[in-house]
Amino acid sequence: MERKEEKREKVLVREPITFPQIASLEAISDLSVVGRPVSRTDARLKASGKLAFGGDYPQEGFLHGKILRSPYPHALIKSIRIDKARELPGVIAVLTAGDVPGRNGFGVVIPDQPVICGDKVRFVGDAVALVAAETEAIAQKALSLIEVDYDPLPGVFDPREALKPGASPIHEKGNLLASHKLVKGDVEKGFSEADVILERTYKVPFVEHGYLEPDMTMAIPHADGSVLIQGPMQAPFTLRRNVAAVLGMPINSVRARSVSMGGGFGGKEDSPIDIGCRAAVLAVHTKRPVCLSLEREEVTLQTAKRHPHIMEVKVGAKKDGRIVAFQGTIYNEKGAYASLGPLVNIHSAIMMPGPYEIPHCRVNAYLGYTNHPFGGAMRGFGAPQVCFAHESMMDELALELKMNPLEIRRINAFRLGSKTATGQILKESMGLREAIEACAAAFDWDRRYREAGYGDPERSRRRGVGMALGFYRTSIGTGFDGCGANVYVHEDGSVLLYTGITELGQGSFTVLPQICAEELGVEVEDIRLVAPDTDLVPESGPTVGSRSTTLMGNAILLAARQVKESLLETASEMLFIPVERLEAKKRRLYDRENPGRFVSFKDAAARCMGMGRRLIGQGWWAPPPLGVNSETLQGDPYFVYAYSAQMAEVIVDMQTGEVEVTEHVAAFDIGKAINPQAVEGQIEGGVAMGLGYALMEEVVLKDGYIQNLNFQDFLIPTVLDVPKVKPIILEMKTQYGPYGAKGMGEMPNIPAAPAIINAIAHACGGRVRTLPASPERVYWAMKERAERQRAK
């Protein structure tokens, strides 16, 4: 996978290197743990309120850290006076840029975000000083005593304006952080062959992850010079390497420990690095533990959001509905700092044409800095944005060709053997068509489509239906996508599982032990998962990109198999049966041909221990090496995809534009549901998030300042806004995943929004091309359509 800042030779890897199959795909029917809706291992603790989230940890003896933030979106820092703040009783430290011991910069991809700004600030909320005090109230007071002189600079607030010559440069190298180009075939040729050509522009705003648990971190310096950073975090290893660089320490002197999170959705990939680096600097300076926690408003001010996209789409199709050419231009708004932006940009470009066989494609994606809060990783990583564009366009095309939206998708959708927009041939685990048909059947698409129309005798509310397709990669496709797991078996049959994959609510702490239990032949409750702590667990990569189940699952399988070798060998000796005939299940190692002959897992383990046989298993798995051409993005960017088809029914109030979603069916091919109940939960929650994106979510900015810092005005769906979602799970197993499993954490929230927007258009004729489709936007869309019809 190419990164913008590395110029490589053309790397063309067409065929993935044959890779040993992880899971035997045939005999999976008699699984005893995987595929079961096992109750979450942490459910009891969460139900009783006993599970300690970061903010629940005791804070006695901790100093409280706070951040002084820039009131300008773009300004030079002329001077800063901290003496009054420093003299306030109870203040232990007031730090400025010069106090950062190592690299004054952090970032997941490019460390371009200052720990403490020294020369300039780039967004409202940028950190200008850090305070540590005995209490939070004192720290807050100290902030107000710091005097900063700013020299305001012109602010840049539009990603297209940012790229024009003469625009105020936000970073030294200018405002274009990255650009990526996808070229397949020849779009001009394609357009020349098209019977119909449509051009539209779609826009999506900044949105907040809206995790209910605000960010916080604890930085604890130790006498030996090492530093522990603990708290909610999706990426402990990324945090560790950033903190080490910021402190000017070797990586092995920093320890990062992830505490179970109250939601993450990608946001806690880099927000913990932000406050972690800052708390670490305070902790090392004061030689005392420091707790830095953000109020909800500060979470919104300071942390990453979903990247806004302005997407110009041009599509050419034949009369019969076959799409022959797709052209897209994406203006991807970066905001002030890089965060995950460069990787999102590539992903958006690759995903822009959608899950369709299109012979000629061209996409240009430009990532431009602005003086706004920045985009990071948010569930879908570019896919929700472009899916809104391509699925809206599919319906607009269908309307133009007078075709049923389902029909036009049936004509163009991927099938086994299809070639994607990057020229990748989809050779396995392809369930898109099955998902479409299953969804249509469960939703009763044909009937609902026909019966759309007024629903009330006053003729003020109209019903309509819409659909959308999506596909999404498993894992991030970067060079460093490997992960490791350790499995230790003890002489009483209990197991320790070491994995650096974190729990954000998605269920990894249950699903990963399920995989381990299945492979070892024990029960989930026999396994204790060791919290992701970089001192204890192997490098695992971040918990992002729908990679955990598949990649870490594979690593766990390999680790479990290694330990199982000893157990099988020992059991074979104890039973006088060749190893090949032995099966491990339900705490027994038994003769497949005569299950009555067995030894207990516990006894075999004890025997191994007594004989000095290895009871430690270690597994490492990285996806098959892939790559794309850096000039054309042609190649195989990711090794497997999940697929989804979703359908929604809405009722639109034709006079106010209010929208109610009354039905939503969401079908997925995810390879294998390790825990079907957890998968359903992801589907239902993801669809709700997509509903919010469609109808109500927007971070509203004015002159660079966020207008809706708290939940009062940044609206996410309540229980009254979300209908009962009907999830459908299909399993087209992949050879690359444990028991065939692909990732699916992000997939559900990707086609949900366009399905709803398409339903709105179907119901009232109004086409909303800028999210969210608030009642007002729907109202104007209806008005616009009425005017167009009058003009005809």
Partner 1 sequence: MECAFKDLHWGKEIAIRHYLQPRTAQETLDLLSEFDGRAAILAGGTDVIPLMRRGDLQAEALVDISRLPGMNSIEVDGDWVCLGGLVTQKQVCSSPVIRQKAALLAEAAAVMGSPQIRNVATVAGNLVSGQPAADAALSLLALNAGVTILSRSGTREVLLTDFFLGTGQTRLDFRREILTRIRFPALQKDQGGCYLRLSPRKALALPILAVAVVVTAQPEKRTIQEAAVALGPVAPVPFRALKAEAGLRGAPLSKESLEQAAQDAMDESHPRSSLLRGSEEYRKEMVKVLVRRGLSRALARAGLPLMEEA
Partner 2 sequence: MKDLQLTFHLNGREVSVQIPPHLQLVDLIRDVLNLKGTKIGCREGECGVCTVLVNGVPVNSCIFPAMKAAGQSVTTIEGVSAGDGPLDPIQQAFIEEGAIQCGFCTPAMALTAKALLDENPDPDESQIRQSLSGVLCRCTGYSKIVRAVQKASLSRRSSG
Which spans of this chain sit near partner 2 (rule: CB under 8 A)? Answer: 37, 39-40, 42-53, 55-56, 209-214, 260-265, 295-296, 504-507, 677-678, 680-681, 683-689, 710-712, 716, 718-720, 722, 724-725
Closer residue to partner 2 (CB): 38 or 781: 38
How many angstroms separate the CA atoms of 617 and 556, rounded? 9
Residues forming the site for partner 1 (CB under 8 A) = 66, 68-72, 124-125, 136-137, 140, 143-144, 152, 295-298, 301, 458-460, 655-656, 658, 695-696, 700, 702-705, 707-709, 711-713, 715, 717-721, 774-776, 779-780
| Position 114, amino acid | P
Of 295, 335, 332, 326, the C-alpha closest to 311 is: 332
Report in angstroms how near the CB of residue 264 gets to partner 2 at its nearest.
Answer: 8
User: DSSP label at 549?
Assistant: I
Sequence-separated (6 or more) residues with CB below 8 Å from residue 408:
321, 394, 397, 398, 401
Closer residue to partner 2 (CB): 395 or 684: 684
Report in angstroms how near the CB of residue 155 gets to partner 1 at its nearest.
Answer: 8
Closer residue to partner 1 (CB): 142 or 683: 142
Report in angstroms how near the CB of residue 190 gets to partner 2 at its nearest.
Answer: 39
Q: If you count them, how many residues does the chain have?
A: 792
Question: Angle between the 267-286 and 236-247 helix axes, to the nearest 10 degrees?
Answer: 30
Q: Which does 500 bind (CB under 5 to 8 A by kind): partner 1, partner 2, none?
A: none
- What is the phi/psi pair of residue 293, to 5°? -125, 150
How many angstroms separate the CA atoms of 785 and 764, rounded? 9
Q: Which does 724 bind (CB under 5 to 8 A by kind): partner 1, partner 2, none?
A: partner 2
Closer residue to partner 1 (CB): 72 or 472: 72
Sequence-separated (6 or more) residues with CB below 8 Å from residue 410:
433, 436
Closer residue to partner 1 (CB): 252 or 656: 656
Long-range contacts of 704-709 (CB under 8 A, 24+ apart): 704/72, 704/73, 704/74, 704/123, 704/124, 704/155, 704/157, 704/371, 704/372, 705/73, 705/124, 706/124, 706/300, 706/301, 706/373, 708/300, 709/296, 709/297, 709/300, 709/301
Closer residue to partner 2 (CB): 618 or 677: 677
Closer residue to partner 1 (CB): 296 or 419: 296
Report in angstroms how near the CB of residue 709 gets to partner 1 at its nearest.
Answer: 8
Q: Which does 408 bind (CB under 5 to 8 A by kind): partner 2, partner 1, none?
A: none
How many angstroms separate the CA atoms of 592 and 581, rounded? 6
Contact between 240 and 532 (Cβ < 8 Å): no
Tokens of 452: 């759309």
Q: Which does 396 bind (CB under 5 to 8 A by kind): partner 1, partner 2, none?
A: none
Report in angstroms how near the CB of residue 656 gets to partner 1 at its nearest.
Answer: 6
How far is residue 380 CA from its own chain's centroid? 5
How many angstroms separate the CA atoms of 789 and 792, rounded? 5
Closer residue to partner 1 (CB): 377 or 781: 781
Number of Cβ within a 10 Å radius of residue 602: 18
Q: Which does 154 bind (CB under 5 to 8 A by kind): partner 2, partner 1, none?
A: none
Report in angstroms how near the CB of residue 718 gets to partner 1 at its nearest.
Answer: 4
User: DSSP label at 550?
Assistant: I
Report in angstroms how near the CB of residue 504 gets to partner 1 at its nearest.
Answer: 24
Closer residue to partner 1 (CB): 302 or 474: 302
Q: Which does 482 bind (CB under 5 to 8 A by kind): partner 2, partner 1, none?
A: none
Closer residue to partner 1 (CB): 392 or 774: 774
Report in angstroms how near the CB of residue 685 gets to partner 2 at its nearest.
Answer: 4
Q: Which does 42 bind (CB under 5 to 8 A by kind): partner 1, partner 2, none?
A: partner 2
Closer residue to partner 1 (CB): 211 or 472: 211
Contact between 389 and 694 (Cβ < 8 Å): no
Number of Cβ within a 10 Å radius of residue 358: 24
Closer residue to partner 2 (CB): 714 or 779: 714
What secondary structure does DSSP assign to 644-708, as a single string?
Answer: EEEEEEEEEETTT--EEEEEEEEEEE-S--SSHHHHHHHHHHHHHHHHHHHHT----EETTEES-
Q: Which does 260 bind (CB under 5 to 8 A by kind): partner 1, partner 2, none?
A: partner 2
User: In this structure, are strands 495-499 and 483-489 parallel, antiparallel, or unpaired?
Assistant: antiparallel
Q: Which does 124 bind (CB under 5 to 8 A by kind): partner 2, partner 1, none?
A: partner 1
Q: Which does 68 bind (CB under 5 to 8 A by kind): partner 2, partner 1, none?
A: partner 1
Residue 121's Cβ-count burial label (10 Å; 0-12, 13-18, 19+) is buried
Tokens of 69: 């933030």
Report in angstroms how near the CB of residue 595 gets to partner 2 at its nearest.
Answer: 31
Contact between 534 and 272 (Cβ < 8 Å): no
Give the C-alpha distances (Å, rounded to integers) separating 680 from 158, 418, 725. Answer: 39, 28, 9
Report in angstroms how near the CB of residue 766 gets to partner 1 at its nearest.
Answer: 13
Q: Which does 774 bind (CB under 5 to 8 A by kind): partner 2, partner 1, none?
A: partner 1
Report in angstroms how near the CB of residue 722 gets to partner 2 at its nearest.
Answer: 5
Closer residue to partner 2 (CB): 21 or 718: 718
Q: Which does 505 bind (CB under 5 to 8 A by kind): partner 1, partner 2, none?
A: partner 2
Report in angstroms how near the CB of residue 222 gets to partner 1 at its nearest.
Answer: 29
Q: Which does 298 bind (CB under 5 to 8 A by kind): partner 2, partner 1, none?
A: partner 1
Tokens of 246: 């910021």
